[in-house]
Amino acid sequence: MPHDHHDPLSPSGHPYRQDNDEPLSYWQMMEIAVRELMIEKGHLTANEIATQIDAMDARSPADGAAVVARAWVDPAFKARLLDNAGAASTEMGFDIGPLNLIAVENTDKIHNLIVCTLCSCYPRNLLGLPPDWYKTRAYRSRAVSEPRAVLREFGVELAEYVTVRVHDSTADMRYIVLPARPAGTEDLTEAELAQLVTRDSMIGTGVPRRTL
């Protein structure tokens, strides 16, 4: 490939945001300055920052999907997950940290939706960093006042009889949706089931795929 070729989309399907070759911004200068000062004064190390970024990069919605798939195939695990989502996830080897994690279950009569109206609290230890739209004013404002309209924008059309429950996250209390297992998936393995579980289905703005 020629070296002057720039792929317009990243592997995740998003346009690359220029970072290292754009004119240096005021806030980038501030980030460098804060980081350098904190390192020089012995409050942090460069290694701690790099390790933290690696840990963050390693997390993805696949972690949450593994937890959901386990709950779909193992009723005892599902009961533990709904009782204490943090402890149940830790059982599977996921580091949840000190935050309280609550799993809320979707059924044929209840659909749960997660938002953080204050900021961007999100079950990042199981899903990675939140998508941009989760942090927008539009989502945070409207998720609590007209959730059904918001869901329609995401392509989720709910029957009138389905109750929508919106959960407002806080710094200490995060939620994750346990989506309903799609019908007709009885023959799938746990690993295959996990592939049906999308990120948005664990936020409540989507539903799982029906087929692999």
Partner 1 sequence: MGGMPAGPIPMEGHDFSLWEKRVDALLTLCGSKGFFTVDGLRRALEDMGEEAFEKYSYYERWIASINQNLVEGGHYTLEELGTRMEEIRVRGQTYGDANHG
Q: Which residues bind partner 1 (CB under 8 A)?
A: 10, 12, 14-25, 27-38, 41, 43-44, 48-49, 52-53, 56-57, 115, 117-120, 129, 131-133, 135-145, 150, 153-154, 168, 171
Minimum distance, C-beta of residue 198 to partner 1, in the bound complex (Å): 14
Active-site position among 10, 119, 141, 145: 119
Active-site position among 10, 25, 120, 201: 120
Nearest 5 degrees, angle CA 130-CA 178-CA 150? 55
The sign of the CA dihedral 33, 38, 39, 41 is positive
CA distances from 99 to 42, 126, 154 (A): 27, 12, 28
38/158 with CB nearer partner 1? 38
Active site residue 25: no
The sign of the CA dihedral 158, 182, 124, 46 is negative
165/182 with CB nearer partner 1? 165
Active site residue 12: no
33/92 with CB nearer partner 1? 33
Minimum distance, C-beta of residue 47 to partner 1, in the bound complex (Å): 11
Active-site position among 10, 25, 121, 145: 121
Active-site position among 89, 116, 169, 201: 116
Rg (C-alpha) for the chain, rounded Å, is: 20
Minimum distance, C-beta of residue 81 to partner 1, in the bound complex (Å): 25
53/191 with CB nearer partner 1? 53
Minimum distance, C-beta of residue 115 to partner 1, in the bound complex (Å): 8
Residue with tokens 């209840």: 110
- In 36-182, the DSSP E strands lie at 100-105, 110-115, 163-168, 173-178
Minimum distance, C-beta of residue 190 to partner 1, in the bound complex (Å): 29
CA distances from 63 to 9, 118, 124 (A): 24, 25, 10
Terminal C-alpha separation, the chain = 33
34/79 with CB nearer partner 1? 34
For 14-29, b/e burial (b = at least 16 CB within 10 A) is: eeeeeeeeeeeeeeee
Residue with tokens 């990120």: 199
Catalytic positions, written as ranges: 116, 119-121
